[in-house]
Every structure is written in structure tokens, then in C-alpha cells.
Amino acid sequence: MLEKFHIITYGCQMNKCDSEVLSGILADSEYKYTDALEDADIVLLNTCSVRDTAESKVMGMLGRLKYIKEKRPDMIIGVCGCMAQSWGQTLIEKYPYVNIVLGTSRLPELPRLIKQLQELGQPAIDTLETPSDIDMPNPVRESSITAWVTIMHGCNNFCSYCIVPYVRGRERSRSSYSILNEVKSLGILGYKEVTLLGQNVNSYGIDKGDELDFAGLLELMDRESAGIERIRFTTSHPKDVPPNLIDAMASLPKVCEHFHLPAQAGSDKILARMNRGYTRQYYMDLVQKLREKVPGISITTDLIVGFPGETDEDFADTADLVQKVKFDVGFCFRYSPRRNTPAASMEDQVPEEIKMQRLYELLRIQDDISMAKNESIIGTDQTLLVEGFNPRDKSQLTGRTRTNKIVFFTGSAELIGKLVNVTIIGAGNWSLRGEQQESKEMLLGKVDGEI
Ligand code: SAM
Ligand code: SF4
């Protein structure tokens, strides 16, 4: 009798969101979640293929699971997500103790695969590209305050370095009706924040033709999501940021002032080779427009160093873009060749040690900028949505500003899930320290006490 499951998630928010969907599917089939991997009857690895390091971590975990399974031969090991999609049958050949391989578009098929495995005693594989169900309802969410809501699947952009379009298929937008229903029920359940997810949310609705565009969806959400205080979204492609989206961000009260806008590179030659569809100047103009229209907006980015053909001058252009734009946060990656992508077979691949040097240099530049940006808001008042305890120091709470900055402060557990005003009193490059401002109720209490 199978009872308990455990899921290990690798990669981006999209995967975390998919793991919540997988938990929901298993909970609907009467399985219970366990924190203890060794006790689980079903262990799922929800995998990422975006970089080689992500795949290596999964392989390391599969090595560990082999030993656990020797003691627990009935344990079912399933590999889901991007690696399952791209490796398929090869996973079973390489790791014969893997029992289930489940592709990115087929999550609802999990109970059927478990049944098939039990009946036939053979590994069960489903990596079909036809989506089982675009809505994938009933996730079991980790948080009861903030929720991820997938609004579209797949990507049509085919950046030359990226495996995502090959493992997650073409863009498929959910209907606005079904997204709105999900967000409305989250509001009723007491959630305070939603993050709308997709590989390129700005192209929401284009595949459906007659649907709302992304700005329209934000307007609808802002208006009809009683109880929800904050709306975020990720990720946006810089080539698809129309004026109405900037206006929506500027005018809609629930839409937070944070834009994750991956630049990837600062050299026009490299941007063209990456097939990004914009130039450095276009990107800088877009940032300027956003900053003019949305005062106080934070802009974060992704950057890749060591893309094939990147010379010292090209890298200097990226470093210069970072210095000029002054991102709040920059996620910097070494280019990692991915199977079957055009960039993997480009000549003039950059040696690993040069990629490493460039990565360190870019991280150093960005760290100084993030630190200076965070220091510049010391002394300001910020409203936080309190998400829980600081995982490293349970005597403190953690919350986020509207601009998505993490703030730790001392306060009581009753504040979790509430909007709280703090004054920023300290800064690091990844987080801030705050001090709670006295609320009207507390001030009234003091006056009463004095009387
Ligand atoms: N769709 C999003 C976008 O366009 O920005 C995110 C896609 S990807 C999951 C997240 C980031 O991983 C990308 O923005 C890019 O910087 C990085 N990435 C993707 N493929 C990569 C590769 N082959 N090597 C290194 N970094 C990569
Ligand atoms: Fe990958 Fe580019 Fe699509 Fe983002 S937009 S998922 S980087 S192909």
C-alpha cells in the first residue's frame, strides 16, 4: 500500500509551481506528503535542464536514491519536468531504477502512470507534447499568503542558447476566465499576493487571438480580485513590453513596482547571436521609460557571460550596461551549452576559465550596485507583506516591499499575512533590515494606558 510521497524541486518558480500541482494530484489520490525522503513510498524529482549544473544536481540525487532504493526496493522513483521531457527513455537506460518519467505537459497523468507501473511492473513513461490539461487545478500550495498562478505554458522565442522551447513546447495561454476564477478563490481563501507565471507573460493571449492581452489581464485581475493586495508577474521579454503594459503597471494599485527584465547581454553582436530581438539601446530606452512612468520601480535582470563568440569587448559592453542601468538585482550565469540548441554548435565557444573570470567580475560589479541601491533606501518607510519567519533566525519575521526587496524585522507572529509598515534601518546586498512603525492601534493603546 503506497501512502507517502516526497518531491524535490530544481529550478525556477515555474517548476516550484508545477511541484505544487503534483502535490495536489497526489493528495487527490489520497497520498500524504512526508518531509522525510527515506520514509517516502514515492519520490519525485521535478527537474530543470536550463543549465548543466541543474542537471548535475539531479544526477547526484539519483545516485543517492539508488542506495536508498536498495534498502527500500518498493520505493517508486519518478523523474518529472524538463529533464524528463528532454531525456525520455534515456533516463531509464541510464538509471534503470527510475520507475516513472513524466514530461512537462503531462503532469495530470501521474496517477495513471503509477497504476500502470503497479500493474505491469515496467517503467512508465509519458513525455507526449500534447498537453493533458492546460488548467491543472487543485495545487497544494506551500504558502497560505502568496501564490503562484501559471497563466501560460511554453515559449515561442527560441533564444539560441535556451532549451525551454524544446522541453516546454509552444506558448499556450490559459483562458482569462479560468485564471480569474483561480485568483478569486485565492482571495476568498485569504491569500494576499499572486505572482502570474509564464516564460514570457507579456505575450499572454497572443496564441488565442481574440483574448485579452497581458495588460488587459492585469486590469481585470486588479479589479476583480477581492482580498488580493498585490499582483506580481514573471518573466517578461524586453522585446514585448508595449506602452499599455507600462501604463497598467503605473496605474493599477495592486500591480507591484517590480519588473524582472532579463537583458542577457550588453553587446549588440551577442544579443543578435542570442536571437533576442532587441538592441542594447532599445533595452536602455525601455528601462528609462519604465523609470519615468513608474517612480521607484525596481528592475532586476538575468545575464549570461561567455556566450559563444563573446570577446573581451563584448563582455565589457555587458559590464558597462550593468554599470549604466544599475539593476536592483542581477542573476548572472555562465553560458551552458544545451543539447540541440543553435548556440551549442556555434564555433568559438568560450573556455570555462574565462567564463568563470567574467562571472566573478560581473557578480562583483552587480553586488556593489545592489548594495548601494539598498543603502539608498535606509531611512525610508516601506509597506511589507509579512510572509513568515526569517528561515535563519526564527526570532525575526520576513516580508517583502512592493519592489520585491526582502526585509527582516522583529515583530510578533500575528503579523504574518498582514501588511505592515516598517522603517528601513539596515542594508545588505540581498536583504534589508527594518523596524516596525507603531500602528494607530498601538499608539491609541499607549495613550489609553497613560490615561
Ligand atoms: N523566459 C525567461 C526569460 O526569457 O528570461 C526565463 C528563462 S530561463 C528559465 C532563466 C534564465 O536562465 C534566462 O533568463 C537566462 O539568463 C538563463 N539561461 C537560459 N539558458 C541558459 C544557458 N544555456 N546557459 C546559461 N544560462 C541560461
Ligand atoms: Fe528561453 Fe528565451 Fe523563451 Fe526565455 S524567452 S524561455 S530565455 S527561449
Could you report the per-residue pLDDT of 71-126, keeping only the tens digit for each?
Answer: 999 999 999 999 999 999 999 999 999 999 999 999 999 999 999 999 999 999 99
What was the pLDDT predicted at 209?
85
Alpha carbon of 121 to ligand 2 centroid (Å): 38
Alpha carbon of 276 to ligand 2 centroid (Å): 9
Q: Which residues of the chain have pLDDT under 70?
A: 1, 133-134, 136-137, 439-451
What was the pLDDT predicted at 449?
42
Share above pLDDT 90 across residues of the chain, in percent, rounded to a whole number: 92
Among protein residues, the one with the nearest Cα to ligand 2's atom 5 is 157
What was the pLDDT predicted at 130?
81
Is any atom of ligand 2 closer than 6 Å to the C-beta of 341? Answer: no
Is any atom of ligand 2 closer than 6 Å to the C-beta of 342? Answer: no
CA distance 387 to 221: 22
Among protein residues, the one with the nearest Cα to ligand 1's atom 8 is 50
Is any atom of ligand 2 closer than 6 Å to the C-beta of 276? Answer: no
What residues form DSSP beta bridges with 330? 301
Among protein residues, the one with the nearest Cα to ligand 1's atom 11 is 302
- The candidate with the shortest Cα–Cα distance to 228, out of 409, 383, 381, 385, is 385
Among protein residues, the one with the nearest Cα to ligand 1's atom 2 is 199
Is any atom of ligand 1 closer than 6 Å to the C-beta of 361? Answer: no
pTM, two decimal places: 0.94
